[in-house]
Amino acid sequence: MRGSKKATKRKIIPDPKFNNVRVAKFINYLMRRGKKTVAQKVVYKTFDIISNKTKGDPLEIFEQAIKNITPSLEVKGRRIGGANYQIPVVVGNNRKVILAYRWIINAAQVKKGKAMAEKLAEEILAASKNEGEAVKKKDDTHKMAEANKAFAHFA
Q: What is the pLDDT of residues 46-68, one digit of tens each?
A: 999 999 999 889 999 999 999 99
Are 124 and 49 contacting, i.e. CB atoms less than 8 angstroms apart?
A: no
pTM for the predicted model, two decimal places: 0.88
The answer to whether residue 78 is domain-embedded is yes
Q: Over 80: is that where the pLDDT of 104 sits?
A: yes
CATH classification at residue 101: 1.10.455.10
Residue 6, domain member (yes or no): no
H helix or E strand, kind and range, residue 80: strand 73-80
Question: Does 77 map to a domain?
Answer: yes
Please indicate, yes or no, if residue 30 is contained in any of the structural domains: yes
153 pLDDT exceeds 80?
no
Give domain status of residue 11, yes or no.
no
The pLDDT, as a whole number, for residue 56 is 87
Domain hosting residue 26, numbered range? 21-154
Residue 136 lies in a domain: yes
Query: At residue 79, what are phi and psi to the nearest 5 degrees?
Result: -95, 120
Structurally, how many domains does the chain consist of? 1
58 within 8 A of 31, measured Cβ to Cβ: no
